[in-house]
Structure 1
Amino acid sequence: MHHYQHRLAALVFALAAALPLTAPAAPAALDSARITALESAIASQDIKQITSVLLLVDGRVAYEGYFNGGTAETLNDVRSASKSVTAMLVGAAIGDGSLPGVQARVYDYFPAFTAGHSVDPRLRAMTVEDLLTMSTLWECDDENAFSAGNEERMYVTEHWLDFALSLPVKGFAPWMTRPEDSPHGRAHAYCTANSFVLGAVVEQATKRPLADYAAQVLERPLGITASRWNRSPEGIGMGGGGTRYRSRDLARLGELVLAEGRWQGRQLIPSRYVRAMVSAQATAGDGSDYGYQWWGLKLPVDGHETTVWTMSGNGGNYVFVMPEKKLVAVITSQAYNRSYAHPQSRRILTEFLLPALR
């Protein structure tokens, strides 16, 4: 272990007492050989471009490491992991009465648009839950470069909201699975425009800019004092990606989900909503479960394929939440658009952090 890593390890245990996230128990004892192996893999570039690894067990910091220029103060661009935060804001808006529930109809929040555009009745029936589960009838698929709603097409337009609300109804070619034949009755297609419109709905419902509402209902109550939200060209908060948080603050978001929305005696998000958010609501193309903008990944845990709920973003950015182990793991990474990004971050959890707990 390098000298600076020794000093960091000492600092971590000194700081652990200063970060009362939930329980006051002592930090979990880890198998130092597994941690040394992880740090060696990062140092040797066997695992590339990782900037932080943070493990909380029972609300306490069990491990914290920063690499490749990352620090405790770095505002990490977690890309699409932002979508999971937007889903949490939807829950908060339902909890405070700003939104009536996940069955609220999307187009009802944009009367200026509907006044000037004819909207297909099937789209008029679209709900917030359709956006949350990435199963709208918009022809929108970020994984298909030919899709009308592909995110790259949205980014080069001036009015993202009009772009999304004007998308055509998707057709189902003979080889495509129709909603009624799909798991959970939802034909899932990953579409960042869904998450952007979700943020726009929250702005309309709460009459607050997305970043301001996030600060009010999530960040300030959790003690998060630094973050950065992007906005679209027309000034709407970008709920679909690019939000920046410090690693410890990402852990706080994970801890809130672990505690079913309750923090220091306050219910920030309704527990029923949090449970739905991290339950299978649709099935993604890779076989993962998909909740409300949260991924249920099938990962090897203790020798068995296990569903692990997580925030996930381009580059290999993750916040893993495992209630059965009282565990939150944060991995930040800058391996943007690299094929190894997601596999190696998942490997950090399954091959290093979880075995270190034994």
Structure 2
Amino acid sequence: MRFLPALVALAFAVPSAAQPLPNYDMEELRGAIAQKDLGKIAVLAAEQGGEQILLERFDGKDAGTPIDIRSAGKSITALAVGAAIADGALVDTQVTIWPYLGRPRGEPWDSITVGDLLGMSSALDCNDWDRKSPGQEERMYRTRVWRDFALDLPAREYERDAQGEGPFSYCTAGVFLLGQVVEKATGQRFDNYVQQRIFDPLGIEGVIWRTSRSGEIQSGGQLTIGAEALLKIGRLVLDKGRWDGEQLIPESWIRLMVAPRHQLGQHVHYGSLWWTTPLRSLRGYEGAVMMKGNGGNIVALVPTYDAVFVVQAENYNRKDAERHAFTALTAMLGALEAPEGITAE
């Protein structure tokens, strides 16, 4: 099985050893989770080659009980945009958003494109990582109508680089607006469109979307969903948009969606609402594509192993949440046999 040659060829360097991850095997990992050494990890799941090989629950709840994966849900919005383009509802990522949202305001607002919002690089003065930012997501949640909040955000100083990219600024409000664009373009409420276009073909049910007090669907994350559903979404992307013999999402969109657009750290890249970063294996480091959310919620796709891994956790707002999730991912990857004929990075 081959997936995204450009991704597999990424020359990921070895992450800094300043704070190396614990080198757990699976039994040691289970013990650490039971002792709460890794906080509140609730579910571990994995599949390889389309076959589920692991699904374990650690919080005492029923196996299928969904968990809020926070911003990992943003990656599903990227899939919805790709579906809308494939359906002819959207032309491409270069279309500007204001004709769909009905709020022209002058530059640089009027030049914000679907692609800008996908890459967290729009002119919106919005940075979730800065509590003083006008668009910081907690400010949006305090309002009744999120659409008005997002559309009224001021613009920041903005200039595109030679590749046409604006500066990166992590903005949930912008991803919420993407959902509003998809609604207008498709003529369907965002959750209904995603259910019909993506979830129903995958056999996914019982997903819970957060809404504003006025009933708007939060396409910017905070999606409550089960681990088995996340394995299916990961497999859909790993198989380049194909599911059960049907091309649900164009392969060209999958390639574009996960292609790195911004380098956020020595080993961390951001594409179109998807992340790329390496995972340590027994033979080196493997390139991986990820959905990532607050609390240590991660879905990791490892092409060289033809595998999907899921960590669902409730370590919300903890600085060590992602580290604990990567500890679990490393142990799960280490439990698999290395594929023949494909080398690590």
In structure 2, the partner of 1:56 is 47
In structure 2, the partner of 1:110 is 101
Question: Percent of aligned positions with the same letter in both sequences?
Answer: 37
Equivalent of 1:308 in 252, 276, 288:
288
Q: Counterparts in 2 of 1:332-351, with a 5 A limit?
A: 332-350=312-330
Equivalent of 2:261 in 276, 281, 291:
281
Q: How far apart are residue 300 of structure 1 and its match?
A: 3.1
Does the CA-based 8 Å contact 2:121-2:165 persist in structure 1? Answer: no
1:168 and 2:148 matched: no
Q: Distance in 2 between matches of 1:203 and 1:185?
A: 25
Does the CA-based 8 Å contact 2:286-2:304 persist in structure 1? Answer: no
Q: How far apart are residue 69 of structure 1 and its match?
A: 2.2
Q: Counterparts in 2 of 1:163-202, with a 5 A limit?
A: 163-171=149-157, 179-180=160-161, 185-202=165-182
Instruction: Please state whether the residue corresponding to 1:244 is helix, strand or coil.
Output: strand
In structure 2, the partner of 1:232 is 212
Query: Aligned AA for 2:280?
Result: P
Does the CA-based 8 Å contact 1:48-1:335 persist in structure 2? Answer: yes
In structure 2, the partner of 1:295 is 275
Query: Aligned AA for 2:333?
Result: L
In structure 1, the partner of 2:189 is 209
Query: Aligned AA for 1:168?
Result: P
The change in CA–CA distance for 1:307 and 1:324 in structure 2 (over 3 A counts) is closer
- The TM-score with structure 2 as length reference comes to 0.86
In structure 2, the partner of 1:354 is 333
The change in CA–CA distance for 1:107 and 1:285 in structure 2 (over 3 A counts) is farther
Does the CA-based 8 Å contact 1:188-1:283 persist in structure 2? Answer: no
Q: Distance in 2 between matches of 1:334 and 1:210?
A: 26
Q: Distance in 1 between matches of 2:289 and 2:166?
A: 19
Q: Distance in 2 between matches of 1:204 and 1:272?
A: 24
Q: How far apart are residue 150 of structure 1 and its match?
A: 0.7
Q: How far apart are residue 296 of structure 1 and its match?
A: 1.1
Gaps of 5+ in 1: 1-32, 173-177
- The TM-score with structure 1 as length reference comes to 0.83
Query: Aligned AA for 2:65?
Result: T
1:150 and 2:136 matched: yes
Query: Aligned AA for 1:210?
Result: F
The change in CA–CA distance for 1:323 and 1:299 in structure 2 (over 3 A counts) is closer
Q: How far apart are residue 304 of structure 1 and its match?
A: 4.1
Aligned residues: 314
Q: CA RMSD in A?
A: 1.9
Query: Aligned AA for 1:142?
Result: D
Q: Distance in 2 between matches of 1:185 and 1:90?
A: 19
Q: How far apart are residue 121 of structure 1 and its match?
A: 2.1
Query: Aligned AA for 2:139?
Result: R
CA deviations on 1:280-304 (whole Å, 9 max, x unpaired) are 0222367621111011124434454
In structure 2, the partner of 1:14 is none
Q: Distance in 2 between matches of 1:328 and 1:126?
A: 34
Query: Aligned AA for 2:87?
Result: D
Q: Distance in 1 between matches of 2:213 and 2:116?
A: 25
Q: How far apart are residue 353 of structure 1 and its match?
A: 1.0
In structure 2, the partner of 1:68 is 59
Q: Distance in 1 between matches of 2:285 and 2:124?
A: 33
Q: Distance in 2 between matches of 1:180 and 1:54?
A: 40
Structure with the bigger percentage of helix: 1
Does the CA-based 8 Å contact 1:310-1:321 persist in structure 2? Answer: yes
Q: Distance in 1 between matches of 2:317 and 2:178?
A: 24
Q: How far apart are residue 70 of structure 1 and its match?
A: 3.7
Q: Distance in 1 between matches of 2:115 and 2:297?
A: 25
Equivalent of 2:112 in 103, 113, 126:
126
Q: How far apart are residue 159 of structure 1 and its match?
A: 2.2
Q: How far apart are residue 234 of structure 1 and its match?
A: 3.0
Q: How far apart are residue 133 of structure 1 and its match?
A: 0.3
1:251 and 2:231 matched: yes
The change in CA–CA distance for 1:125 and 1:89 in structure 2 (over 3 A counts) is same
Does the CA-based 8 Å contact 1:188-1:285 persist in structure 2? Answer: no
Q: Distance in 2 between matches of 1:44 and 1:202?
A: 44
When structure 1 is superposed on structure 2, of 37-46 and 250-259 the one drifting more is 37-46
1:321 and 2:301 matched: yes
Q: Which of 1 and 2 has greater Rg? A: 1
